[in-house]
């Protein structure tokens, strides 16, 4: 497709291969009916296996062309497409999960938003730059003292560069965020 490499470069877009997207969703253990956010949904690499798993998906995509393609592709599925910047994303007021491969440049701002006081986040499986995953799991990320009281963070699947097209220049892994049972009744 003419210009597709230019569009990817301009937006820093590195879509996940469908096989790797399926592995990420399978490892997340989605249950039918769960509300799941796919932030940076692209053309739906993760959205499609989330739908097959029975999730109610909110696909968040900033790029107007990709958001339109998502709407057409998932018109008959339990998918709500939201064209929004992740920095301005309003989180659901009911418990939700996140399974996402967001742009690496928004990792810190997205994580701060997801882990903010009052968030109803139950769990997240986020494909991120491995250095970011290592920093967050080591407790060396912004606000670690606060959010570590309510969430457990660990490293999930490690993804090779060839899991993306085009391959990024950095290594990737899944950051697992889980709210332990003990903190689900915290007051905010």
Question: 82-114, pLDDT tens digit by residue?
Answer: 999 987 889 999 999 999 999 999 999 999 999
Cα–Cα dist 147/121, whole Å: 12
**Number of neighbouring beta carbons within 10 Å of residue 73:** 16
Cα–Cα dist 22/5, whole Å: 24
Q: For CA atoms 101, 170, 138, 154, give the dihedral sign.
A: positive
Using the predicted structure, report yes or no on whether residue 12 has a pLDDT greater than 80: no
Altogether, the residues listed in the chain come to a count of 188
Question: 139-148, pLDDT tens digit by residue?
Answer: 998 888 888 8
Question: 31-45, pLDDT tens digit by residue?
Answer: 999 999 999 999 999
DSSP 42-88: TTTTTHHHHHHTT-EEEEE--SHHHHHHHHHHTTTSSEEEE---GGG
DSSP 101-140: ---GGGHHHHHHHHTSTT--EEEEEEEEEHHHHHHHHTT-
Residue with tokens 């994580």: 111
Residue with tokens 């060839």: 162
Residue with tokens 């309003």: 90
DSSP 4-21: HHHHHHHHT--PBPHHHH
pTM for this prediction: 0.89
């Amino acid at each position: 497709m003419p210009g597709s490499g230019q569009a990817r470069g301009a937006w820093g877009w590195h879509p996940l291969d469908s096989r790797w997207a399926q592995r990420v969703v399978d490892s997340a253990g989605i249950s039918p009916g769960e509300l799941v956010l796919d932030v940076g949904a692209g053309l739906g690499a993760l959205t499609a296996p989330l739908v097959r798993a029975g999730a109610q998906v909110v696909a968040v995509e900033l790029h107007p062309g990709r958001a339109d393609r998502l709407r057409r592709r998932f018109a008959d599925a339990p998918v709500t497409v939201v064209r929004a910047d992740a920095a301005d994303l309003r989180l659901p007021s009911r418990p939700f999960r996140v399974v996402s491969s967001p742009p690496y440049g928004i990792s810190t701002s997205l994580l701060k938003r997801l882990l903010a006081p009052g968030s109803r986040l139950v769990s997240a499986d986020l494909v991120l730059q491995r250095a970011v995953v290592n920093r967050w799991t080591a407790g060396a990320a912004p606000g670690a003292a606060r959010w570590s009281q309510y969430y457990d963070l660990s490293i999930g699947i490690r993804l090779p560069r060839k899991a993306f097209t085009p391959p990024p220049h950095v290594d990737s892994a899944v950051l697992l965020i889980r709210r332990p049972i003990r903190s689900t009744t915290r007051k905010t």
